[in-house]
Structure 1
């Protein structure tokens, strides 16, 4: 019996502890206070939302896209020889400026010079023979056939001389255009073959800028369009003019390759450099621009919130061009509308608004 009483007393004490902990402890009081405060917060949440609004107006804007491209030389060639032989002379300095037609490298050709000299003796003799036969033909001392034979012999020797001169010209490597010559890969006395690269010749004034744009812009880009660009190697801003457009679209990227020219008198642009290009497509005289955060993507379109008689109303809009901070509205707004640009997290239709600032 005594054990039973002890158990009953223990159970009673446990129940009393649980009741006290739920209704009278400090934690219970804090929870009740928090619930009471939450009710007041709900009422406060139902109040007006403080916002900034922007008065819509027409703005002139340039339709500009940013793309990347590469800088190429106007002309670039790897110099090689058309004939094989030992190098007898090198007539350029690495990294120097050379002019079109300037002699750069010469290959051994003394055997050809000797052949040409021998040919000249034969041509002189053939000329004399042709002249004598011409006089004799006029006096009818020889036949026409004999004269034709001497004339043919003279012309054959002249043609042989032209062949030797062409062979000799191949032993001289000259600059095909004016430009800067690079590092040479040959030395005097070395054996030069048609497969041996001598040096690279580059002309980069003007420079070529090659880049690609989406095909939808092709209708507003043409020869004469202006571009602006900069490079990693210079702090200067450069400008160029489009002069050629690839006639076919790249089927994998759906882009068109475009090439522009830019003057480079100071040599600040280097072939192979990376270019950040700013391309102005056209000028839009009147359009509406909003801050990007003011336009909220929706399932079917985009929406903005309009301030109207102290409350927010939704308005579906159509967008087009975007920049880093602005977005173009082409339908759904008119000048004078008041667009909500802050407090959008709390925004919904018919919520009361309190205007803090008006942006004009």
Structure 2
């Protein structure tokens, strides 16, 4: 059976229904009000000045000119070069060895020690036994001299007796032979004495040329036989750059020619002279060793450093040249961006010139330019320029001497972009996370 609701329960149900209806109505009205407020405040605020300045019938303001730096196309005679990797090598290198046997009693140098030819003591060998040998030889010489003096006097007496027929001729000849033997023995002892004195003088070893010690092969207290290595020394002052030159570039090089050399680790740009061209090349790579004479810059250039040497690859020719930064190298083709004056058919609709301030503080106008990409082919290059030619015959008249090409900022250009030339010619410095041109690096 169904239970009938009482008056109190009916009143509670009506109250709850009314409360739910009011809550739902309030929620819906609040949502409408919020939507209206957001739509109102998010609408763009257009000032009367901006509306007046905007050209009629245009929905967007005029495009802003991008700031770039430029170079100029030139026609010059060049000698195209090629960068070859080489190494710095010492002009002279020697392993210093002992010429006398004995115990090493002094070694006052270490690896890295600077030495001076004929002045820096490298090592000293014990001379005790050599001095004793010299004294022994000197004693034998004194004995031989005394014997020779006696026999010489006795020979005179024999010659007198021979005249009196008191001695035979054979006895006199025997005395002369004995004296000649003593003279030969004395001469031999003098040679041995000279040899001993020479060994004593060579117990002290000095540097044979100016340079630096790069290795030690012994220590104090070791007994060294004749010919034992002590240290290794390399020369300083002059240093050579050695690289392997391809056979097609070899006829373009001659002894005495000047070439540009860059020391990679130090960032030094030097000019050196070709010192030697080795006639024996590598059969496998068809390259030949070439040495370029350089100065070591007071020890800054060290053997083993890597260098880049620029050698010619063809004879001098006249080409169209652009700065290296003006060529945007891509896998499919290379591109240069040329600047052409902005043309306008309606002066009233043309955007105004860009206004800038000169160094003196006087405002002046700079004309706007339009950047256009031109596909090119790189023929050759020097250290500062690329020799180019047009890929399309229609662009040949556009690439002419005197035409401006973009060198800084070309990575962010699009065809037909408005640009203005930066009058500041100071060099740009790269910042962390950016290329030298200022373009931000993007990690992919």
Per the TM superposition, whether the score is higher than 0.5 is yes
Per the alignment, residue 151 of structure 1 pairs with: 183
Matched-pair contact (CA < 8 Å) for 1:226–1:279: no
Distance 1:65 1:77 in 2: 34
Q: What is the number of equivalent residue pairs in this alignment?
A: 268
Structure 1 counterpart of 2:397, from 316, 338, 349: 338
- Structure 1 gaps, min length 5: 1-54, 298-317, 342-353
Name the SS for the 2:308 alignment partner: strand
Q: How do 1:198-209 residues align onto structure 2 when only pairs under 5 Å count?
A: 198-209=230-241
Q: Provide, for residues 37-89 of structure 1, a one-character-per-residue CA deviation record: whole Å limited to 9, x for no partner.
A: xxxxxxxxxxxxxxxxxx99742213322111000112222334355543222
Distance 1:131 1:278, change over 3 A: farther
Matched-pair contact (CA < 8 Å) for 2:249–2:312: no
Matched-pair contact (CA < 8 Å) for 1:74–1:205: no
Higher strand share: 1
Higher relative contact order (CA 8 A, sep 6+): 1
Matched-pair contact (CA < 8 Å) for 1:204–1:271: no
Matched-pair contact (CA < 8 Å) for 1:89–1:106: yes
Matched-pair contact (CA < 8 Å) for 1:76–1:201: yes
Structure 1 counterpart of 2:105, from 67, 77, 88: 88
1:115 Cα deviation after fit: 0.6
Structure 1 residue 120 corresponds to structure 2 residue 138: yes
Per the alignment, residue 249 of structure 2 pairs with: 217
Per the alignment, residue 229 of structure 1 pairs with: 261
1:105 Cα deviation after fit: 1.3
Q: Provide, for residues 315-336 of structure 1, a one-character-per-residue CA deviation record: whole Å limited to 9, x for no partner.
A: xxx996445863467xxx9xx9
Q: How do 1:40-119 residues align onto structure 2 when only pairs under 5 Å count?
A: 58-82=75-99, 84-92=101-109, 94-101=111-118, 102-119=120-137
- Structure 2 gaps, min length 5: 1-71, 160-171, 333-376, 401-415, 419-444
Distance 1:57 1:276, change over 3 A: closer
Distance 2:198 2:313 in 1: 52
Q: Which has the larger radius of gyration?
A: 2
Q: Provide, for residues 144-202 of structure 1, a one-character-per-residue CA deviation record: whole Å limited to 9, x for no partner.
A: 53332122111111222244345546644332222122464544324445686533312
Distance 1:244 1:124, change over 3 A: farther
Q: How do 1:263-282 residues align onto structure 2 when only pairs under 5 Å count?
A: 263-279=295-311
Moved more, 148-157 or 318-327: 318-327
RMSD over aligned Cα, in angstroms? 4.4
